[in-house]
A and B are shown apart, each in its own frame.
Chain A
């Protein structure tokens, strides 16, 4: 059923550090690669080398400019956007077929492609734009938290992470159980300021974004000027100055 579980045993999710992300799109590429070759229908591209290309992605990095109100320097924030595996996921309950579900064991929100009719209502219900209907397969695609990597004993242990986390060259992405207060990710979240995405939608996202740290401030009139070393010319230059004056 598409009823949401009251609680989940774990709350697996991502912690994304907006202070560290450099916006390289490495996670986007790694995600597209893994999820095209593994679980479910591949993430199709249509007219990939033509005039009007379009493709399915489960993660996209948007860049925003923030201009502080107090006159401090504007700064850029790169925001990777993917499914937040919400506790109160509106995409799940609207599904007419039971294809969308939230797992009781780990809280991952998944789509059963053998049941999906591709009606798109779940994508309408999601405020985050996290779901995309695959244009070739006609089924809804979304982040699986790389469910086929994290439990995959055929992979070396260090690879049992979502592809985006494994590939991030900046160390801006972290994966773990956000329901366990002692987990590394929960400790990380506790040590930092976070930002909430559209809290007014009441979705209770599991994924957590760490806020950009305060930036260094530049004094408005620059560094203070040095005091002049001498105001009167003395010695040889003083004599020359007087001599030339008399000429």
Chain B
């Protein structure tokens, strides 16, 4: 799949933003006044910024309001609704903490639940697609997305020790998910024979493509650039997401500088892994158009 910057920015930033909301809703960190303002500002900036970035790849933004209408069938629609609901739920909660010095736990916990559901709907947007075997791993992909959000949120909330351990678990699960994806693709029953239905007559190869120039389908779904560096990028990503931040958080005394370095490393790592999430994902339509 084409690793469009808009979707990488969206899933990375929004995931962290909603992850931070999950902790803020539980009263962590326990802050009011100006510090509360800063924390909520970061959470809103990340989540809203990510959501805005996601609209950059839309071809026809003027119809965006309709995207809230199909919650009965569409995970993308559900995601839009849940994101807005979460942001709205946290508004009075944040106002209470910042301006009134009041903490309303029930409202916060509802917000946390909504944030969890939002991240789940994001993950299902990808995990629902039968056409992309590497994404169609339920519950691994939803669980992975949630863990990314919870661990990244803990880090942003300044919970150094908790974040350190969560990030280690996250890195382990991410590595396992990569390997499961590899195994799934290696054992795929879809091939040129099943794609064309001609497999029962013999071995099938493409003689001529349907087009001499590029096409939307090829650009969007048969992206192959960068897959050759996938293994190296996985190692880099695992180090940046997990190993480096975990070492910083678990072995050094917690302080603003340590947290800042861990956040920087983690965010770059998450963005790298999200690039891989798209770039490595093979779409079955490639069977129709690949040579060989």
Which residues on A are within 8 Å of B, measured CB to CB?
1-3, 23, 28, 52-57, 60-69, 72, 74, 76-77, 79, 81, 90, 92-99, 114-121, 123-129, 132-135, 137-140, 194-202, 209, 211-212
Contact sample, A vs B, 5 pairs, CB 8 Å cutoff? A64-B192, A68-B202, A117-B59, A129-B289, A132-B216
The closest CB in chain A to the CB of B219 belongs to A54
Contacts known (A52-B214, A119-B76); A128 close to B58, Cβ less than 8 A: no
Q: Find chain A residues with CB under 8 A from B69 CB.
A: 96-98
A77 to chain B, nearest CB (A): 6
Majority-rule SS of A interface residues: loop
Q: Chain B's nearest CB lies how many Å from the CB of A97? A: 4
* Interface size class of chain B, counting residues whose CB lies under 8 Å from the partner chain: 35 or more
Whole-angstrom CA separation of A163 from B183 in the bound complex:
44
Cβ of B64: which chain A residues have Cβ within 8 Å of it? Answer: 117
B60 touches A138 (CB 8 A): yes
Stretch at the interface among B33-41, B128-136, B246-254: B128-136
Q: Would B211 and A1 count as touching, CB distance under 8 A?
A: no
Contacts of A199 in B (CB 8 A): 194, 197
Among the stretches B110-118, B231-239, B280-288, the one at the interface with A is: B280-288
Contact of A129 among B189, B202, B217 (CB under 8 A): B217
Known: A64-B205, A94-B75, A96-B80. A201 touches B214 (CB 8 A): no
Q: Collect the chain A residues with CB atoms within 8 Å of residue B289's CB.
A: 62, 129
B57 sits at the interface (CB 8 A) = yes
User: How many cross-chain pairs have Cβ atoms below 8 Å apart between A and B?
Assistant: 207
Cβ–Cβ contact B210 & A62, under 8 A: yes
- B167-205 interface mask toward A, CB cutoff 8 Å, 1 = contact, 0 = none? 000000000000000000000011010111110111111
Contacts of A98 in B (CB 8 A): 66, 69-70
**Chain B residue at minimal CB-CB distance from A80:** B210
Inter-chain pairs besides A66-B198, A198-B284, 9 sampled, C-beta below 8 Å: A2-B73, A65-B207, A69-B203, A74-B202, A96-B70, A119-B76, A200-B190, A211-B197, A212-B201
The smallest beta-carbon distance between A198 and chain B, in angstroms, is 5
Chain A: minimal CB distance from B131 (Å): 5
Bound CA span A65–B190, Å: 18
Whole-angstrom distance from the CB of A181 to the nearest CB of chain B? 22
Structural contact, A121 and B125, CB atoms closer than 8 A: yes
B74 touches A (CB below 8 Å):
yes
Q: Are the CB atoms of B76 and A96 closer together than 8 Å? A: yes
Cβ–Cβ contact B201 & A53, under 8 A: no
Interchain CB contact (< 8 A) of A123 among B57, B63, B210, B220: B220
Q: Is B82 engaged at the interface, CB distance under 8 Å to the other chain? A: no
Which single member of A1, A55, A128, A209 contacts B285 (CB below 8 Å)? A128
